[in-house]
Structure 1
Amino acid sequence: MRRRTRMTQATGVASVSLALLVTGSLALIAVDVLAQPLSRGTLITGLILLILLPAVLLGQYAPPPYRLPYRWRWGLLGLQVLLTYPPVLVFEFKWLSLLGFLAGAVLLTVPRPVSIVIALAVAASGPLLVHSSLVSTSRGGMSVLVSTVITGSGVYAVVHLALLAARLQASHSQAARLAEHRERARIAQDLHDLVGSSLVSIAVQSENALRHTPASTPGHQVLSEIATLARRAHGEVRGITGNRASAQLHTELAHAQRLLSQAGISTRTTLPPRVDPPGLVSDCLGAVLREGIGNVLQHSRASRCDIEVTTTAAGRLRLSVDNDGVPPTEGGTGSAGGTGSVSGSGSGLANLRFRTLALGGTLTTHISGGHCVLTAELPLDPPAPPDPPAPPDPLDPSMTLGDTDRVHKGAGV
């Protein structure tokens, strides 16, 4: 909780610093514009542009959870270009301060390494305009270049740190969710194996004692109540451990989309209009989705993640998690069995692969072109797991204490 509070504070500090940087810089530009000997209409036009610019800039730089979708930021980037270069011809060197904000927006929006090339071109455009006949100023080209680089790198650093803090917070939330699900499964298994077996033993021994205790004995009623309570508690334990269904698939999808959005990762989710998979299939796909999203948050550099659930003609349900966070050195080759950015250091995917195989499905990862795709495919009607040889019913009144001991030893109690 304390770590989450600190990360939230870091995001808040970054947001406030960014707002002060943008509004302060635009206020200085407004003062310089008003000091110029321009016509009234030109001054009003310049002030209107300076009023529009904060919305454009903050829309570009806003950290999660206020970060706009990727396609919207591209539109704002184009609008920012229009609000930066044409007004330079009118307001001249006063407007050149906006080149740094444009360079920072390019670094935050355009994928690498193209963004670095474009940002350098934006920085170099300042000295070119100064040395041309389009802009008259007493400032040197090197001064404009240094100012652009400082502003652009400052904007990029503040927003990037806010994105990292948001990504770290989402990663910790997902790790806690995974740990919670695993702990619940372990507790349910222990409850079934240990408490259930103990209740069986209590019930059987109480019933055996009842056979040798006359009904007139004071302890007969007590033993009968103990046997009844043990039977009832054993039934409740079996009901709890036999209905360990996790959240439904659409709930897991909504949670994954919320986590990715909080981390600043653009998300697109596709779900068939009518899909109601059985409990085992829904649980397995939910576990795959949790593990995949956790790996995207912890091990990748993704800016976009597509989650798609489809049904095939063969009556199978397919879940794919596609992210663009594979570094260039890892994205050149593809492999159906590779793990790439989703591998991690644990055995989460290995366990899920065995789990999907047990239901007659498959789990694969594929890396190609900087993308990593995790795909799980399960039949909508999975085969029932084979039942082990049925042991004698320990609650059968005809069982002896020796039979009960053999059942307990077989169960590992």
Structure 2
Amino acid sequence: MFGKLAELRRRRRKRVQEIREHRRPGPPNAFTLLPWLLLGLGSFSNLIKGEAANPWIGGLGLLAFNSIYISVTFRAFDKEKRQSRTTLCLLGVLIVITYALAIGYAGNWLLFFPLLALAVGTTLRNRQLALVLLVIGGSAGFISGHEGKNPWDPWTLGYGTFISGAVTAAILTLSETVMELRSTRQELARTAVEKERLRFSRDLHDLLGHTLSVIVVKSEAARRIAPRDMDAALGQIADIETVGRQALTEIREAVTGYRDASLADELDRARSALTAAGIEPVVRQSGPPLEPQSAALLGWVVREAVTNAVRHSKASRCEITVDGTHCERVRLVIKDNGRGVGSTSPGSGLKGLTERLAAAGGSLDAGPGQRSGFRLVAELPVETAQDPCTTAELEPRE
């Protein structure tokens, strides 16, 4: 029971954390901008007391201003609607109404300028915002100075108009930026998970495909020679045990992300696997030592190609050539004299190897040989431990 309660608490904390992550910083919605409409209570009081000329016109103007202000601010919290032509037209109508009411009635009606600046701040951005706010703030100060008697009123109203729009725009811009950063962080997290899954699936395919193929080949060899030579069969079985233990180690390394195929080790394993399958291995390697990352990538290529040769080729000879004598690229060629069939299924390891090599600036070409068999060519740009342009070619090793 205590375990279930702990699990429920954990889920609740996780849900609360998700809500916090997705919550919009700053003003959550347009409702936070509605209380500012109380600035229009002075003009409404003028209408009620009959202090305003043409009260019906003033009342219609007040109703129109409030309605359009609410519509613009609500549309401003949706990016697509905010940038639409309809919203800009509504904002233009709101500007016209504000100027008409301010010029026609003055006094408390001038406080519609800060409200207009709020609507502008929620809708416009960048240079358009600055230009419009300067015009509105200057107009508010000019009309106030022309109508009022206190010399500080123009400066106060003009500054208040400008700063109300600027602060609103700054808060909403910061809010949108934070939301975009959160979205980008979540996307990066998803991408990282997808990359890790792809890495693990590739490693698992390459590891298990090769290991199981070797185990099957050696098991068949042990079954064939057991009636004639029990000691040789036991040797094959011992090899199977060694391969199985090595596979367990490699799978653990793949899970933790530290698995790299060594080219030298893979060439030795290729000889063993090909020999057990009745295929004569011929391995040639020339050039200076390779940088570990390049050697690891070529090791994966050797593992996949040899696995395909054992499974599909029906060949009697397989040649593996590593040529690193060029100044900028290393070239790996693997070809056999079999029936010219490789791993061609959509989910084969060759597709994964092609993507790996392409990410490192290399290439992979696989297909039937010119005369017979199957041929695979992999190339990589490399940085060698020594300068390959000044180092003598190493003796080929077979």
- State TM-score, norm by structure 2: 0.49
Higher helix proportion (structure 1 or 2): 2
The answer to which structure, 1 or 2, has the higher relative contact order (CA under 8 A, 6+ apart) is: 1
